[in-house]
Amino acid sequence: MEKMPYRDELDLQVRPAVSEQAVSTDWRGSLPVLANGSVILRDLRVSDAPSLFALLTTEEVARFISPPPTTVEGFERFIAWTHRERAAGKYACFAVTLKGYDTAVGIFQVRDLASGFDTAEWGFAIGSSFWGTGVFETGANLVLEFAFDTLGVRRLEARAAVQNGRGNGALLKVGAVLEGVLRQSFAKSGHYYDQGLFAILEKDWRAAREPKPFVHRVSVH
Ligand SMILES: CC(C)(COP(=O)(O)OP(=O)(O)OC[C@H]1O[C@@H](n2cnc3c(N)ncnc32)[C@H](O)[C@@H]1OP(=O)(O)O)[C@@H](O)C(=O)NCCC(=O)NCCS
């Protein structure tokens, strides 16, 4: 999430050609609804702009991420941009919602790193009143399944500022491995921050989901 690829000032309304990649194509028309328990991920809607503006622009949420839009209208433009990028087959952005409460309380993003989703990067931000509630972990696992099973990702990267304790902890708990530190790779408000480079490999993700063989221990005295 440190590198939210959207920039208001760079939104020139250019429709890129649809890239030709051997990945499942129907998500380009609209994202599937992903659900587990009370967490529901769905395509963003322009009407999500007010809640995302209220929840994702607070100091504690925005502290270690690239600056989010500063107005509701800016979020509306961001959402329209996510739809164009999705239609071009380069990017997917899910709204995080809760069962019976269709308001967007956060986002998960996955973007192609110029290799037909062989390697991709993900990021996420959730309103702070939902931190520590399990919403992140449930949503993250849905997004991982979408990335590996639908997009065909082989390597999923994430970057998190070293000082972003929750971001680092969140990545580690869903299986991301810290591979190194990208020194002074993130600039914000006149400061350069080191970022951890995390990755999850598809093969590791699949192996972790395989049922563990049952070992019956017999005590011998
Ligand atoms: C990143 C984010 C989505 C995670 O959601 P969350 O609900 O806070 O995540 P969780 O509470 O499920 O997991 C965070 C873990 O980090 C741990 N943690 C918290 N502070 C920590 C710290 N300073 N150092 C290390 N780990 C820390 C928590 O204990 C938790 O682990 P646990 O569940 O095993 O106890 C949310 O914090 C957020 O939106 N942050 C702002 C946006 C952001 O920074 N995004 C970029 C992330 S790369």
> Closest ligand 1 atom to the C-alpha of 133?
7
| C-alpha of residue 34 to centroid of ligand 1, in Å | 22
**Ligand 1 atom 33 nearest Cα:** 132
Q: What is the mean pLDDT of each run of 10 residues along the chain (221 residues)?
A: 53 38 73 98 98 98 95 98 97 97 96 93 98 98 98 98 98 98 95 97 96 72 58
Q: Could you tell me if 108 and 164 are in contact, meaning their C-beta atoms sit under 8 angstroms apart?
A: no
Residues with CB under 6 A from ligand 1: 1, 61, 64-65, 123-126, 131-132, 136-137, 158, 160, 164-170, 173
Distance in angstroms between the alpha carbons of the first and the last residue of the chain: 55
What is the rounded CA–CA span in Å between residue 149 and residue 202? Answer: 9
Global pTM value? 0.90
Task: Please name which of 99, 162, 105 lies closest in space to residue 131, comparing C-alpha atoms.
Answer: 105
**Neighbour order of strands in the sheet with 39-43:** 34-36, 39-43, 91-98, 101-112, 119-126, 155-161, 191-201, 177-188
| C-alpha of residue 70 to centroid of ligand 1, in Å | 24
pLDDT at 212: 79
pLDDT at 19: 36
| C-alpha of residue 214 to centroid of ligand 1, in Å | 32
